[in-house]
Amino acid sequence: MLTVAAGAATGARDFDCQRVGVPCQHACPAHTDIPGYLQAIAEGNWEAAYRINLRDNVFPGVLGRVCTRPCEEVCRHGAEGLGEPVAICKSKRAAADFREGSAPIMLDRWFPETGKRVAVAGAGPAGLAIARELARCGHAVDVFEQDDRPGGLMVQGIPLFRLPRAVVESEIEQLLATPDIRLHLGKTADPETLRRDYDAVVWATGAQQPVPLDVPGADLPGVQHGLPFLRAVNRGAKPALGRRTVVIGGGFTAVDCARMARRLGAESIQMFYRRSEREMYVSADELKALADEGIDFECRVMPVAFRGDGRVQSVVLARTEPGAPDETGRIAYRRIPGTEFEVEADAVLLGTGQRAVRPDGLGAGTGPVFLAGDAATGSTSLIDAIGHARRCARRVDEFLMGARRLGDDVQVGPAVRGTGRTREMDAIPRQPLGLAAFAPDDPDREMETGFDRAAAVVEATRCYQCQYLFEIDNRRCIYCDMCVIACPVPNCIVKVADVVRDDAGRWRGFVESTGPKDYNLLCIDPQLCIRCDVCVKACPVNCIPAKRLDLRIAEPDAPGSYEEAAAPAAEEEKAHV
């Protein structure tokens, strides 16, 4: 599967093997070393687990609470017949909760000071993440934030009951302790001035322009977008919503608005989403929280009109059905004529999305302007914005220094006899998450209490440790089939006539043998292997070694590029799904 037996590997074949073998790490936009930190937690090494996350995703304590968890969707443990995905996100939180001490951790610089100056507009997750990465490259970074506090949507949009401000403030303080980062609050960035005064400018102001809803009556008093509403509440405002609140949308903003309305005293809260529940961006835990707090939720319903005499008094809605894909390839939902119905409402909160607004002056001046996070991609999530910012930092550094100084590699470790996992570990159920009951007299109380130490260790042991690659050394194999017989997963070990590779040498599957005449190899499918060690124990000639693969992102002078090698293959696979 690899180009080297040990040491640094940088070929497309090596990066793609990592992508295929460790799907959770690839699915994470920041490519966090998830198996690495889960292994550290399983060993009770909270500090090591926290440092891995700090290196890769910048805000471990924050993301351990509010990450959208794309990694868990692809966790091999969640495949059919293998149980539930590992609680990767909440394990990250445990590492932050239980690490020793609270002193800021300073990551080492990759390179000495360069004398280059970079301006970053926006002190949200993307702006702060790229500032840290550029400072590690040796550049001096000035961050300009028009608000009077840093954090962006971490403090403006996410309610306290989901994300305590002490967690945000601690991790921002830790980041700002990085040498060569200066924060300027209450400063509106002017692109033309910044381009004149700095060697490079990064625009990281997020996507904070509410997308209006083109529905009759949307301008009635009492109808408002959810993001300004959440901003006001997070500033201490207590807006009066009345007895009945309707929320439109199916993302985190909509869910947060509905739960906030409950805390502001609304008695009846109804939430409507035009698409199916399967297409929602929020997790099953969030949907359960809605139900636990008495919030009604209904899918495949869209608003048709808002009605009222001087103020909104009702919402007209209609059922929807899936139609043809839109220009993005996403299924469009259309109104079903004759299904209209009306509900009363004293207030309507719209969780209908935000878009990026870029200033006109980006084309003026002398220095180049780079877009980072949601300012480049449109509204996404915290982990998406951080991952994009880290990749953008490389482009900025390459521009400033005239050469690529940060690359990637896969460290292929020495062969081991096994991972220490046993098949019995696969039967450990996903550990229940601690939840607090909603208390009207304490609306800001954090609702998720996380794992205790014992539960976090147990949960981490559920990880298959997919960073280990099991291969059969066919030079030593005696084809006794003992591994095939012992393997608990059907077709994990395959009798092979040939190995299929693309033009870059990336593995694309096996041509299975049809009988003795074309039985040329015995191979382990890295997509089906659950790293259980059963085949290793069954082999009488010790020809199934396991090697640890560590994907190292942003390594000084590493010649490879994980994105260039793995992204095209991932897109190709997605197109065939």
Place of tokens 């909603």: 438
**What does the block give as tokens for 490?**
């059907």
**114: Cβ–Cβ under 8 A, 6 or more apart, which residues?**
137, 138, 139, 400, 401
Place of tokens 């991972």: 419
DSSP output for 462-487:
T---TTEEE---TTT-----HHHHH-
pLDDT tens digits for 438-483? 998 899 999 999 999 999 999 999 999 999 999 999 999 999 999 9
Place of tokens 């059922």: 319
Residue 551 · residue 420 · CB < 8 Å: no
Q: In Å, what is the CA distance from 360 to each residue of 190, 203, 388?
A: 10, 12, 23
**289: Cβ–Cβ under 8 A, 6 or more apart, which residues?**
255, 259, 447
Dihedral sign for Cα 548, 554, 557, 558, please.
positive
CATH class belonging to 212-345: alpha beta
Residues present in the chain in total: 577
Give dist(CA 219, CA 462) in Å, integer: 51
CATH class belonging to 469-576: alpha beta
Rg value, the chain, Cα: 26
Smallest CA-to-CA distance from 15 within 556, 571, 549 is with 549
The domain made up of 117-208+356-404 has a fold known as FAD/NAD(P)-binding domain (3.50.50)
**363: Cβ–Cβ under 8 A, 6 or more apart, which residues?**
none
CB atoms closer than 10 angstroms to residue 517: 8
Amino acid at 18: Q
Question: Domain segments of the chain: what residues?
Answer: 117-208+356-404, 212-345, 469-576
**346: Cβ–Cβ under 8 A, 6 or more apart, which residues?**
222, 241, 242, 243, 244, 245, 312, 313
Smallest CA-to-CA distance from 58 within 515, 383, 516 is with 383
Q: What is the pLDDT of residue 236?
A: 93
Q: What is the pLDDT of residue 365?
A: 64
Give dist(CA 264, CA 240) in Å, integer: 7
Q: What is the pLDDT of residue 577?
A: 46
Parts of the chain with a pLDDT under 70: 361, 363-366, 569-577
Q: What is the pLDDT of residue 359?
A: 82
Residue 46 DSSP SS3: helix
**What does the block give as tokens for 69?**
């968890």
Query: Do the domains 469-576 and 117-208+356-404 match in fold?
Result: no
Give dist(CA 41, CA 45) in Å, integer: 5
**What does the block give as tokens for 272?**
């409507």
**What does the block give as tokens for 540?**
């009488």
